Amino acid sequence: MSLDVSALTTWTDENKLELIGKSILKGRTIENVNLQTGIKRSATINTLNSDIQFQAGACGWNVSGSTILSQRALTVCDMKLNEAICLNTLEDYYTSTMMKAGSYGETIPFEQVFAEEKAAQISAYVDDLFWSGDTTLGGGLSLCDGIVKTALADASVVDVSGSGGFLAATAIAQIDAIVAAVPTDVINAEDLTLYIGYDKYRVYAKALRDANLFAYSGAENQGEDFSQMVPGTNVKVMAVRGLNAKNYAVCTPQSNLYLGTDLTSDMEDFSIFYSRDNDEVRMLAKFKLGFNYAFSDFVVLGSF
């Protein structure tokens, strides 16, 4: 009689390797804009501008020119993340070998990996929402309007419209056109940055390399990851995940962009706790976010 194994499933050692989190492209926009904290619902970006008018020197006092005080609203949106894990479910799989002995467990055995994964996902979400949030759409990005949505509805924003997509053959010309549209009042800003998705950044970087520009120095020689200077200018091109797969680019000084929140730590110090009433481990994240810019006429919106 031969060995009958038809009732068994092929064995796989699921405990051989440690549990690892999924590696994702984290957001970095929050590190390159102004943070305005302490906002429970709405605050203002207070701006001052001058209209000076010189006149011929002579005796007397003839008033001319003005100082202009203005404001832009920075309204935050409430958002939260709720998740629950039933520990009994983990007992039915390889994760049972990670659990403590006894039937009254109150922690998930991979809490550190779980927390790190959630932190990375929140970072990515903030970046996506900052640029591409749109309350008229469905899904997670409908919780708050982002910079692109605001700029599209702003008549004072400099618009550089194109068509045909962002292609290797036209990428250099398209970026140059956006840079050329930057208002002269802000062209010498030390933090002038052109934000674009990683997908289009790679197209642009390859186009520059293929053009074989004399003395061209790419990002690898400028000490930056996925950012480099537009040749012959003071404008930095920076890839941000919030513009991935989007046919837009935004060029403005970093100091012109604002991210409003209540506490920045709210996005990092989320809670993982055991709910005795529900006999499950729960995860809670709550924070407020809002986005805007100070000066509309310092923003160039490129579309492809």
pLDDT of residue 12: 46
268 within domain boundaries:
yes
Q: From CA 127, how far away is CA 27, in angstroms rounded? A: 5
Q: Report yes or no on 267 lying in a domain.
A: yes
Domain membership of residue 1 (yes or no) is no
How many domains would you assign to the chain? 1
Tell me what pLDDT residue 220 has.
53
Q: Determine the pLDDT at residue 232.
A: 87
Indicate whether 139 belongs to any domain.
Answer: yes
Asked whether residue 255 is domain-assigned, the answer is yes
Q: Do the domain assignments include residue 56?
A: no
**176-180, 259-263, 291-295: least confident range:** 259-263
Predicted TM-score of the model (pTM) = 0.83
Contact 49, 71 (CB under 8 A): no
Q: Return mean pLDDT, the chain.
A: 85
Q: What pLDDT, on a 0 to 100 scale, did the predictor assign at position 26?
A: 75
Which among 126, 160, 137, 140 is positioned nearest to 240, based on CA atoms? 126
Read off the pLDDT of residues 134-165 as tens digits, 9 standing for 90 and up.
999 888 899 999 999 999 999 999 999 987 88
Which residue segment(s) compose the domain that 294 sits in?
29-50+64-303
Dihedral Cα 223, 228, 230, 234, nearest 10 deg: -60
In a domain, residue 197? The reply is: yes
Q: State residue 93's pLDDT score.
A: 75
SS3 for the chain, per residue?
A: CCCCCCCCCCCCCCCCCCCCCCCCCCCCHHHHCEEECCCCCEEEEEEEEEECCCCCCCCCCCCCCEEEEEEEEEECEEEEEEEEECHHHHCCCHHHHHCCCCCCCCCCCCHHHHHHHHHHHHHHHHHHHHHHCCCCCCCHHHCCCCHHHHHHCCCCCEEECCCCCCCCCCHHHHHHHHHHCCCCCCCCCCCEEEEECHHHHHHHHHHHHHCCCCCCCCHHHCCCCCEEECCCCCCEEEECHHHCCCCEEEEEEHHHEEEECCCHHHHCCCEEEEECCCCEEEEEEEEEEEEEECCHHHCEEEEC
pLDDT at 219 over 70: no
* pLDDT over 70 percentage in the chain: 88
Write the CATH number for 277. 3.90.1690
Tell whether 254 is covered by a domain: yes
- Write the pLDDT tens digit of every residue in 246-270: 999 999 999 999 999 887 777 777 8
Compute the average pLDDT of residues 85-99: 78
